[in-house]
Amino acid sequence: MANLNHPNLFTAVELTDAVNKLPVIPLRLGRLFEEKGVKTTNVVFDVKQGRLFLVENQDRSAAPKDLADRGPKRSVKILECAHLPLTTTLRPEDVQDVRAFGQDEPVGVESVVNDKMQELKNPIEMTIEYHRLGAIKGVVMDADGVSELHNLYNVFGITKKAISITFPDNVPVKTNPVLKSLLDAKRHIEQKRSGLVISRFEALVGSDFYDALTGHELIREPFELWQSNLSNYGDNDYRKRGFTYAGITFLEVSDQVGGQPLINPAKAHLYPVAPGMFKTYYAPANWMSTVNTVGRQYYAQMEELEMDRGYQLEVQSNPLCVCMFPETLVELTAA
């Protein structure tokens, strides 16, 4: 295993650079989150709770009115970044007498290291996506799906907004109760947006909810029209990602982890798309070489085993996924 002692290729710095350049899994939620590295394992939030109000016109020679108690009230909240490490072992038999895929030549050490880092990185990347989904729901869960890492409603003192959507069997002649409920949900967000510049609305939707919505007589016609126009939308057009109705783009999520759906099939989670709405912070690794440095998305390093038996390879990430305006999140339930 002497070839592994290359002074530049296998340092923690070089491995960390390499693991951050490895291919990423196609994920759907990263586009919503702004990312930032921090130097600490905790992130401190200054929370200002107040409402916008209108300022009355007055004579230019008069003294301005005092803001008094109408301004925002400030509090401090502290959240801890998650620690997501994985490790594996690189042994001589992983390299010795192993043919490179599709070639007659022996596999190279660098190729084996990259493959093993990719194996470690992929489940961590999916876990970060799972945390992003939790931030969109308002509750970030641990991998077991039971333990809460951060309940953003409790942390920020917010009551979750939940709306039941009825899909009537008998279609009303002059009213559309489905449309009315969806518009009410949007109005709630607009009332609570606290200065957010909203570009559009999206909802992550369970399969039963999606079927009830798109198969209902009141919505079937616009759904079929959307399907017929899919080929006309560009790859970056949000309308290609999901069905848009009532100004909300519905994206079906039918994925499962450990046999459990990521989203309750009968529910949908509505949120505004806006700058600063969702953020992911990355803390530094728990290594002496990274203490008090700005965190990166991934870290990797390797350590030699006793008697030159191989190397222990570790990849880790330390993310904190949050919704900065949890009061604008709405949970919809198909009644």
Give the homologous superfamily in CATH for domain 157-277+325-334. hypothetical protein PF0899 domain (3.30.2320.10)
**pLDDT in the model for residue 57:** 56
**pLDDT in the model for residue 71:** 61
Instruction: Round to whole Å and give the CA distance between 298 and 54.
Output: 46
**pLDDT in the model for residue 50:** 52
Paired tokens of 45: 């939030």
Each of the 335 residues of the chain gets a pLDDT tens digit; together they read: 444 444 444 678 888 887 778 776 657 899 999 999 999 999 988 776 654 455 565 766 777 777 666 666 677 888 999 999 999 998 888 877 776 666 667 777 788 888 888 999 999 999 999 999 999 999 999 998 889 999 999 998 899 999 999 999 888 778 899 999 999 999 999 999 888 899 999 999 999 999 999 999 999 999 999 999 888 888 788 888 899 999 999 999 988 877 788 899 999 999 999 999 999 999 999 999 999 999 999 999 999 889 988 889 999 999 999 999 999 999 999 98
- Token pair 């759907």 is found at 28
**pLDDT in the model for residue 19:** 77
Q: Where are the domains of the chain?
A: 2-48+73-147+278-322, 157-277+325-334
- 2-48+73-147+278-322 and 157-277+325-334, same CATH topology: no
Instruction: Round to whole Å and give the CA distance between 94 and 49.
Output: 57
Q: Does domain 2-48+73-147+278-322 have CATH number 3.40.190.290?
A: no
Chain-centroid distance, C-alpha 274 = 14
**Are 334 and 208 spatial neighbours (Cβ–Cβ below 8 Å)?**
yes
**Are 13 and 21 spatial neighbours (Cβ–Cβ below 8 Å)?**
no
Close Cβ partners of 228 (under 8 Å, ≥ 6 residues apart): none
**Are 201 and 273 spatial neighbours (Cβ–Cβ below 8 Å)?**
yes
**pLDDT in the model for residue 102:** 64
Instruction: Round to whole Å and give the CA distance between 150 and 227.
Output: 38
The three-state secondary structure class of 68 is helix
Q: pTM to 2 decimals?
A: 0.86
Most distant CA pair in the chain, distance: 89
Paired tokens of 287: 């290594």
**pLDDT in the model for residue 18:** 79
Side-chain-facing half-sphere of 82: CA atoms under 13 Å:
27
